[in-house]
Amino acid sequence: MEITITPEALDWFKREIALEPGMGIRFFGKVYGSTQVHDGFSIGMSADRPEDPMVEKEADGILFFTEEADDWFFKGYNLTVDYDEKLDEPKYIFSER
C-alpha cells in the first residue's frame, strides 16, 4: 500500500489539524458509510501516535500513516488523499495496487 497526499490536501491538514510532537494523521477503516471499494465501511482519520504502523508517508513535516490492525481495510489498495473544495474537507480515493 502507498499513501499519496495531494498538495491541496496537505494545505488543509496544515490549516485544520494541530499536532503535538510525535503525532501524525492516522487513516483507518470504520463501520458505517461507504467508500468506492467498501460497502458498510468508511475511512476515518485521527491525530494519533503510531504504535504498529503498516505504512508511513511524510509530507512537509507531517506524518501520515495506517496501522497493521487496519490491513483488512487497505489490503490490495493504494490511498490518495485529495481535497474536496465544495465540502472543505479531505476526500479519499482508492486505487488497486
pLDDT value at position 73?
Answer: 85
pLDDT value at position 49?
Answer: 95
Cβ proximity of 63 and 55 under 8 Å: no
pLDDT value at position 64?
Answer: 97
Low-confidence ranges of the chain (pLDDT < 50): none
**If you search the block for the grid coordinates 495496487, which residue do you land on?**
97
pLDDT value at position 72?
Answer: 86
Q: Give all domains of the chain, ordered by start, each with its CATH number.
A: 3-96 (2.60.300.12)
